[in-house]
Structure 1
Amino acid sequence: MVTPSTTPTPSPDRRRWAGLVVISVAVSLIIVDSTIVNVAIPSIVRDLDIGSTAVQWVQESYTLVFAALLLVFGSLADRLGRRLLMVVGVTVFAAASVLAALAPSGELLVLARIVQGVGGAMVLPTTLSLVNATFTGRERGIAFAVWGSTIGGMVAVGPLLGGWLTTAFSWRWAFGINIPLGVAIVACALVFVRESRDEVHAGRIDVVGAVLSVLASASLVFGLIEGRTYGWWTNAERLRVGDWSWPGALSPIPYAFALTVVAGLLFVVWTRRRQRAGRSTLIALDLFGIASFRGGSVAALIVSLGEFGIILSLPLWLQNVLGYSALQTGFVLLALAVGSFVASGFAATAGQRIGALPIVRLGIAAEIVGVAAVGFVVSSSTPWWAIVPCLFVYGFGVGLATAQLTGVVLQDVPVERSGEASGAQSTARQIGSALGIAVLGTVLFTSTSALVEHRLEDTGTPAATASRVADAVVTSSGGAIAGLRAQDPAVADTAAEAFSDGTRAAAFSAAGFLVLGLAATLRLRRPESETSATPTTDRPVAAG
């Protein structure tokens, strides 16, 4: 069945390209913020005198809220207006950045990060659906390439910008920079970005479905991120909120995953019931009847698992093993951003000749080569120039795969339903990245801990001492290596080499997941418009 689109076909108005710049800057704002904090954490700890638990929540509360609300705001954008929700999201994000920049305590900083997550969840799916609704044909491929390369590049620019602001000014400017950018984005969006919404499916929001979606997403991301901290089954460390601590011997993580399963099943049952009754739903399950959407979402999840996990370990290795400053680390990671931006030009031209799907496969292959090369060159004495080419190739692959895979996922989705589809595939990406952080983080720290212990014991160090050293290295994410070097250089060298080997294991694991992601794309089919001699057209297709 063909569903007529009610979204006006974009006229050849040059303002839409200026609008693409605004949209790309908006998505840059939230992507940079998800990585910029990592290099500012040591300064935040010193300034606010916060403990390890508060540090974790400063880093992870943003991701948790962000992932939980993507699906909800993607659906709301279709009903209320995509530009409207993007503007509101940027405004909320900038206001929360004021609170973060002025936060006098760790608790208020965590609160600010939570509100930032709400704003960010409004922005990401709406920017994607705005691109999908504003551009058609070959121009849409170019626009997706710019949008996706921006995301890939900003993942690396975040640490550089955060390192510079923290080193030259204060960690507070890592949040303060969002305020003038937010004001500029809102002003330019109102001038250059065309409003669009789904007039056909605009109805009352499915409140029950929204609650179930948030519960399922939030509990899953919480379990994936915090499993290593609190224990996957029994308590490794007690969850504490103020004066309250988690009771019993069983970790909260199994309960979180159980909530994910129950809420997820209830969400499916509830949504199917509302669909049969002809009532509005948060996401129409018939979208998963579209082969490109279903297969592309699975591939996006797997690829995100491999892509973002390695970003966790590299900054830690560069700063704590090689001894680089936050700013120097940012410069090394800049190679990833350069590769991603170079890819945008390549994807725009090559995509017109060979199509989006081959570009996706080429990009994932480049990611595999780049991240595997990182694994081969990592050691406690690796010079910076050896890692830079690997990161460039990896970034080039990210730039190719991210945007074009998004285009493949949405290629057969009706334009008027692009918001809910964008929210669904963005949620899949966020779950994949959270899973990557959890799995690759576990590989990194478990490998490092075991290697430090075994190698110290092999040199005659008592088992209890070796265990304490391993715990110190892992608990500090490698930060204890510098202190060990002042006390016992031989022990520090052992810890540095073990951390390097753990980073290598994480890199090879990431490459393995990317291989699975590449295999998942082999089930996808190129659209008829790319396999025929006719130009690319936009034919909204509804499942069924």
Structure 2
Amino acid sequence: MSTSKLRWLGLAVIGLAVSLIIVDTTIVNVAIPSIVDDLGLGSTQVQWVQESYTLVFAALLIPFGALGDRIGRRRILILGVTVFTAASVLAGIAPSGELLIAARVLQGVGGAMVLPGTLSLINAMFRGRDRTTAFAVWGSIIGGMAAVGPLLGGWLITDFSWRWAFGINVPFGILVVVGALLTLDESRSERPPARFDLLGALLVVIASGTLVFALIEGRTLGWWAAADVPAVAGWSWPFEVSPTPWLLVAAAVSGVAFIAWERRRRRHGRSTLLPLELFSIRTFSVGNLVSAIISLGELGILFVLPLWVQNVLGYDALQAGLLLISLAVGSFLATGAVSGLARKLSPVGILRLGIALELAGVLGLAITLSTDSSWVQLSALLFAYGLGIGLASSQVTNVVLADIPVDQGGQASGTQSTARQIGSALGIAILGTVLFGTLQADLDGRLDGLDASARDQAVTVVTQSAGAAIPALRADPATAAVGDQAAESFTVAASASAYGAAAFLALALAASTSLRSRSRSGGRGASGAGDADGTGVAGTAAAAPRPPAVDAVPDGPSA
């Protein structure tokens, strides 16, 4: 088989590896009710089944990206898939909530090994227009699989068991390991190995872990005043101030300490976990900012919509998943469009087009959401949104890594993936707060005619159940009027969240204007990245010494 064909087969293997870890972030959402019934989970355990994976995943991306550069990106990917698959087996057979949460933590470790390696391998395997297409495939998988997860989960849970939501990872994990051994060459940094920066790794784990934890749990624990703080081993939180501000302070302090430590190592000529000089490259620094803001808008609205369509429109888990398929179709079709667009637009231009399509789709949802919204209307808007996700997700990666040397690809891609994950956590935290805060305030106003006790009880039940109480309220003639008002309030809240997502996407579009293209993809940009480039920015070279462009670095073993 020719080297060219083998590379594209390798991309298919990489795509399957990405699919495993992305689907797992969304498939659990529709499995939670069945898990609660089977294992008898409490509310705190329910949160951690969903969030422990994201927390560990985000905290370990940069260290594992750097480790992959040192010991081999294919090796760390295979190890990650193996850990992830083994953890999926443990999750599928878990007899208790505690063991299920432990398995989810282990899944997060495996996922953090996989994602940076996939980007680094693509960055090393492909050149020119092929790289543009390969990143488009990667980005479309990210967006599309986030929508496929609820559909797959709905089907497995409806026809089989929630345990198969984890068990299905096993055959695909084995396929990825075998495929990686057959189609992917090893790729690692060409620089001599140096002592691993353990303190830097610890600091970045603390910084990202405490930040993501605070963003996820802030609404529950309280953003300032202590609210629902659970006791740990009989010990209760003794302060009036919530743990959230302390966690944010810890994140800031450890983040500053990490930067100071990395600079100190750099001054003494020692290896660093993250080469800070990369942030002097405009495409990398601004691209990471845009990536975080895009994820903030994207994943936030994907958190809101499934709740709304199931609790207000009455869809079951499978129907909700089918609705989101229109988003996945749009995302995957964007892959085919990238090659044609790359002849006329630079990666930055395609990125802006993608963000604009996302913005149009979300604004359409914000304006038109109602308690009688049709499936066709929602599908059309989600399709446009999916097209935008496919274009933006692929090209933001292309922009961020355009001027990064191959031997620093793991560290750079780990940084970009961490930016995405932090953006996602922030989006869920902010848009979730908008959703439930608006729901509570609007419903309280609509039920003004009820006595205070009944009104408070209704508002509390609807809000704390995330709207899950609405179908039962509407089905009971005695509470049908309250249920109808709750459905209207939930719709208003979902619309407010969509407007919030649109605001973040507009901010990302504005931020992308500082990324000026030097040439279209058909020519060779100043950065030297061949056909895929055109993302260089005038003045970058003047800001700091510019690292060699990707095409200027000799191909490693995977090339």
TM-score (norm 2): 0.93
Match of 1:476 among 457, 460, 465: 465
When residues 201 and 320 of structure 1 are mapped into structure 2, their CA distance, relative to the original with a 3 A threshold, is: farther
Aligned AA (2:453): A
- Which whole-Å CA distance do the structure 1 matches of 2:7 and 2:234 have between them? 53
The Cα of 1:434 is off from its aligned counterpart by: 0.6
Question: Deviations for 1:456-487, whole angstroms, at most 9, x for unmatched residues?
Answer: 01xx1012321221111111111111222224
Q: In the alignment, what sits opposite 1:346?
A: 337
Contact 1:80 1:197 in 2 (8 A): yes
Partner SS for 2:227: coil
- Which whole-Å CA distance do the structure 1 matches of 2:233 and 2:17 have between them? 35
- Which whole-Å CA distance do the structure 1 matches of 2:174 and 2:122 have between them? 21
The Cα of 1:300 is off from its aligned counterpart by: 0.7
Aligned AA (1:355): S
- Which whole-Å CA distance do the structure 1 matches of 2:523 and 2:166 have between them? 49
- Which whole-Å CA distance do the structure 1 matches of 2:146 and 2:67 have between them? 27
The within-5 A match list for 1:44-83 is 44-83=35-74
When residues 221 and 533 of structure 1 are mapped into structure 2, their CA distance, relative to the original with a 3 A threshold, is: closer
Partner SS for 2:547: coil
The Cα of 1:194 is off from its aligned counterpart by: 1.5
Q: In the alignment, what sits opposite 2:450?
A: 461
2:94 is equivalent to residue 103 of structure 1: yes
- Which whole-Å CA distance do the structure 1 matches of 2:233 and 2:150 have between them? 31
Q: Which moved more, 1:243-252 or 1:427-436?
A: 243-252
Aligned AA (1:542): P
- Which whole-Å CA distance do the structure 1 matches of 2:264 and 2:164 have between them? 49
Question: Deviations for 1:224-264, whole angstroms, at most 9, x for unmatched residues?
Answer: 11110110011110133343332322211011001001100
The Cα of 1:525 is off from its aligned counterpart by: 2.1
Aligned AA (2:459): A
2:97 is equivalent to residue 92 of structure 1: no
Structure 2 unaligned residues grouped into runs of 5+: 537-544, 550-559
When residues 201 and 398 of structure 1 are mapped into structure 2, their CA distance, relative to the original with a 3 A threshold, is: farther
Aligned AA (2:305): L
Match of 2:206 among 197, 205, 215: 215
Contact 2:150 2:317 in 1 (8 A): yes
The Cα of 1:527 is off from its aligned counterpart by: 4.6
Match of 2:531 among 509, 532, 536: 536
Q: In the alignment, what sits opposite 1:179?
A: 170
Partner SS for 2:58: helix
> Percentage identity across aligned positions?
56
Aligned AA (1:148): G
Q: Which moved more, 1:483-492 or 1:239-248?
A: 239-248
Alignment coverage as a number of residue pairs: 532
Match of 1:433 among 414, 424, 444: 424
- Which whole-Å CA distance do the structure 2 matches of 1:386 and 1:360 have between them? 26
2:142 is equivalent to residue 151 of structure 1: yes
Q: In the alignment, what sits opposite 2:361?
A: 370
- Which whole-Å CA distance do the structure 2 matches of 1:232 and 1:121 have between them? 28
Q: In the alignment, what sits opposite 1:4?
A: none
Contact 1:290 1:543 in 2 (8 A): no
Contact 2:131 2:532 in 1 (8 A): no
Q: In the alignment, what sits opposite 1:442?
A: 433
Q: In the alignment, what sits opposite 1:42?
A: 33
Contact 1:201 1:280 in 2 (8 A): no
When residues 147 and 465 of structure 1 are mapped into structure 2, their CA distance, relative to the original with a 3 A threshold, is: same
Contact 1:453 1:463 in 2 (8 A): no
The Cα of 1:276 is off from its aligned counterpart by: 0.7
Q: CA RMSD in A?
A: 1.7
The within-5 A match list for 1:382-421 is 382-421=373-412
Partner SS for 2:226: coil
Contact 1:165 1:174 in 2 (8 A): yes
Contact 1:29 1:178 in 2 (8 A): yes
Q: In the alignment, what sits opposite 1:265?
A: 256
Q: In the alignment, what sits opposite 1:517?
A: 508
